[in-house]
Chain A
Amino acid sequence: MSTFILPNSSPECQRSLATQISAEHTFHTSPYRLRKIEVQVVDYFGKGRIGFLKLQTDVSNDDGEKLPGCVFMRGGSVGMLVILQPDDIPPGTETEKQVILTIQPRIAAGSLSFSEIPAGMLDDSGTFSGGAAKEIQEETGLQVQESELIDMTALALSDSPTQEGEENLQQGVYPSPGGCDEYIPLFLYEKRIPRSQMREFQGKLTGLREEGERITLKLVRLERLWGEGARDGKTLAAWALYSGLKGEGKI
């Protein structure tokens, strides 16, 4: 086992720790410091590319008080709320809007057919919206321009102050901030298409076969999404942002 000293860099954690300098910070009198990181497991995604890391960190103050420091590290993902509407419906209404959901095996959930909004892991290159466009294409077959995507998380979270000074968190939804670094920017893509084309999505088989993906698509009416998608955190989160932003007239 080898060790090294972390060079002077600025990951998010360091930024948040630095805010303790401010006299108003809760932890100012006994600030927490990052003292050690232990890499327990690495999972590679072929060709030496790191997929997941499991870390144990020591973030503690001088009184020996520790913060829970286990991290399942996987980076960001993108989620897409893809809404189709038959183009024979007058524009400007929510009538007959349907959402594309993916059904696929999710071994972690113990399921062979878990329903979710399309999503994918962000790779290191490119923008969030570029990643989203690519995933939409792979999972639904739809060719989408980055400019056609609306970043709902950026819109909804843009005004939010952080409670203590200036932390630099991602513009995304964190599924499990107590155990995992994952953050998910959520995008909206709406398209009006001929009614006959809409039916093609029901039961369509997609996904990258060579990556072991076995995805079947289904369409769900927008007003029923919360029930059909209620087991998937991303789906409920996307519905919240969509409804909230619509309610405020921001989309």
Chain B
Amino acid sequence: MLSFDLPDHTPTVTVHLVEDLTKEQLLAFPAFQRWLSTLNSSLARQKYSDHAFHEHPYILRKITIQSIDWFGPPGSKLGFVKLKAEVKSDPIGMLPGVVFLRGGSVAVLMIVRPRDARDERWVIMTEQPRIPAGSLSFMEIPAGMMDDTTRTFAGVAAKEIKEEVGLTLREDELVDMTRLAVQGHKSPENLANAMYPSPGGCDEYIAIFLWEKEMDRLEIENLKDKLMGERTEQEKITVRLLNYERLLEVGGRDAKTLAAWSLYEYLKRTREIS
């Protein structure tokens, strides 16, 4: 087990690693880079005399890596890193510093509307096992990531949606709702323009997009037939169609779904989206 000092940090910040994780691997992990850079810029703001902690500023002293999970064979791609950061102010004390590090992601509120009834809305959802929630069939809006190369919504949910209903979501068809919402509230701290589900323990931030499309009634009915019956195939993710009116009731255990509803409803009411 090794430790090293973070480059370019004064005072010194020692990082204690675990076995099977090298300094290079940790420093190359995008989530670690982003978290550390955001934290450092937030700590730096304490130098301003109007900052709440200006008198007794907090300082990053130490980082202890506790566990790592690889997405694939060890050494391939880091998935999750669990760490403890020691951020301390003399004489005030320490801040809670447990971090479950996993980086950002995106989610899409996918709405289809029949041309013959524009007030009717259907939402494309995913239903899948979520072991942390103790569920084999958790309902959510599709989650994944933006592929920088193809500029499309990507990941296991996106793949299943493409297979089931033949839809690929291109970046230019998506409205970034979280960005619109935080527009008037720029973060002086360089936080992401996204929704943080659990900022007390996790670095995760989720950009919530809207994809809304009009379709012929026949296309909508075809979707219903395909997606509203019993699950027959042993797919890990099942694509579902849900009436928008039931979104809170059926999707309400999923924070992303509630957040997407909030953003969509508010943006609609203020006419930022039609």
Binding site for B on A (CB under 8 A): 11-13, 15-17, 19-20, 24-27, 29-30, 32, 40-41, 43, 51-52, 54, 56-57, 59, 65, 67-74, 77, 105-114, 116, 119, 153, 156-157, 159-160, 162-164, 167, 169-170, 172-184, 212, 214, 216, 226-228, 230-234, 236-237, 239-241, 243-244
Contacts and interface: CB of A to CB of B under 8 A. Distances in A.
Given A54-B67, A109-B196, A230 B93 contact: no
B199 A111 contact: yes
Given A181-B132, A212-B93, 17 more contacts: A26-B233, A26-B238, A40-B66, A41-B67, A54-B67, A69-B131, A107-B96, A108-B101, A157-B253, A175-B197, A176-B198, A178-B143, A182-B198, A230-B182, A231-B182, A232-B199, A236-B263
A213 to B, nearest CB: 8
Contacts of B80: 70, 72, 179
Nearest to A103: B52
B69 A70 contact: yes
A72 B82 contact: yes
Which of B43, B135, B192 has the largest number of chain A CB atoms within 10 A? B135
The main secondary structure of chain A at its interface with chain B is mixed
A243 B252 CA distance: 13
B195 A107 contact: no
Contact of A67 (B37, B131, B192): B131
B273 interface: no
B127 interface: yes
Contacts of A110: 34-39, 41-42, 189-191, 203
B248 A244 contact: yes
B191 A107 contact: no
Contact of A108 (B37, B41, B200, B266): B200
Interface of B: 34-39, 41-43, 45-46, 52-53, 58, 66-67, 69, 79-80, 82, 84-85, 87, 92-102, 127, 129-140, 143, 178, 181-185, 187, 189-192, 194-206, 230-236, 238, 240, 248-250, 252-256, 258-259, 261-263, 265-266
A116 B143 CA distance: 23
Given A41-B67, A111-B38, A240-B261, A174 B194 contact: no
A163 B249 CA distance: 12
A112 B54 CA distance: 12
The main secondary structure of chain B at its interface with chain A is mixed
B253 A172 contact: yes
17 contacts: A16-B135, A20-B136, A24-B230, A26-B136, A32-B129, A40-B67, A68-B131, A108-B98, A110-B35, A111-B191, A173-B252, A175-B255, A179-B132, A180-B100, A181-B133, A233-B195, A241-B248
A80 to B, nearest CB: 15
A51 B255 contact: no
Contacts of A178: 130, 132, 143
Contact of A179 (B41, B102, B129, B187): B102
A233 B66 contact: no
Contacts of A67: 129, 131, 236
Contacts of B134: 11-13, 15-16, 167, 169, 181
The 7 nearest A-B residue pairs measured at CB: A110-B38, A12-B134, A175-B197, A109-B199, A230-B181, A236-B259, A177-B133
A113 B52 contact: yes
Contacts of A239: 262
A46 to B, nearest CB: 12
Given A32-B136, A40-B66, A233 B197 contact: yes
B252 A114 contact: no
A26 B100 contact: no
B164 to A, nearest CB: 14
A59 B130 CA distance: 11
Given A26-B234, A174-B253, A232-B195, A71 B132 contact: yes
